[in-house]
Amino acid sequence: MPYIANEQRYDDMSYSRSGKSGIKLPQIALGLWQNFGGNRTLDIQEEMILRAFDLGINHFDLANNYGPPPGSAEENFGVIYHKHLRPYRDELLISSKAGYHMWSGPYGEWGSRKNLIASLDQSLSRMGLDYVDIFYHHRPDPDTPLEETMTALDHIVRQGKALYVGLSNYNAQQTQEAVTILRGLGTPCLVHQPNYSMLNRWIEEGLQDVLDEQGVGSIAFCPLGRGQLTNKYVDKIKAERANPTGNLKKESYTDERIAKFEALQAVAERRGQTISQLALNWVLRGNRVTSALIGASRVLQIEENVAALKAPELTAADLSEIDTILDGIGNIPW
pTM: 0.94
d(CA 97, CA 284): 23
Pair 226, 198: CB distance under 8 Å = no
Q: In whole angstroms, how far apart are CA 277 and each of 24, 233, 281, 282, 308?
A: 22, 14, 6, 9, 5
d(CA 172, CA 281): 24
Torsions phi, psi of 219, nearest 5? -130, 115
Torsions phi, psi of 51, nearest 5? -65, -40
Residue 181 has pLDDT above 90, yes or no: yes
Pairing of strands 217-221, 189-193: parallel
**CATH number of the 15-226+282-310 domain:** 3.20.20.100
Q: Could you report the per-residue pLDDT of 56-81, keeping only the tens digit for each?
A: 999 999 999 999 999 999 999 999 99
What pLDDT, on the 0 to 100 scale, is given for residue 258? 87
Comparing 71-75, 137-141, 244-248, the range with the smallest average pLDDT is 244-248
What pLDDT, on the 0 to 100 scale, is given for residue 255? 83
Q: Could you report the per-residue pLDDT of 272-319, keeping only the tens digit for each?
A: 999 999 999 999 999 999 999 999 999 999 999 999 999 999 999 999
Left, alpha or beta for 315 (phi > 0: left; psi -120 to 50: alpha)?
Answer: beta
Pair 181, 214: CB distance under 8 Å = no
What pLDDT, on the 0 to 100 scale, is given for residue 235? 61
If you compute the radius of gyration of the chain from its CA atoms, what whole number of angstroms results?
19
Q: Give me the half-sphere count of Cα atoms (radius 13 Å) on the Cβ side of residue 89.
A: 13
Helix extents (H) in the chain: 42-54, 72-80, 113-127, 146-159, 172-185, 207-214, 236-242, 255-270, 275-283, 299-307, 316-326
Total length of the chain: 334
d(CA 139, CA 141): 6
3-state secondary structure of 118: helix
Burial 61-99 (b: 16+ CB within 10 A, else e): bbbbbbbeebbbbbbbbbbbbeebbeeeeeebbbbbbbb
Positive/negative CA dihedral, 272, 278, 280, 285: positive
Q: In whole angstroms, how far apart are CA 160 and each of 24, 59, 120?
A: 20, 19, 12
Report residue 329's pLDDT band, with 50, 70 and 90 as the boundaries.
confident
Crossing angle for the helix pair 146-159 and 172-185, nearest 10 degrees? Answer: 50
Pairing of strands 28-31, 291-294: parallel
Where do the structural domains in the chain lie, given as residue ranges? 15-226+282-310
Pair 39, 54: CB distance under 8 Å = no
- Own/partner pairs for 272-275, CB < 8 Å, 24+ apart? 272/311, 273/308, 273/311, 274/230, 274/231, 274/304, 275/229, 275/230, 275/231, 275/234
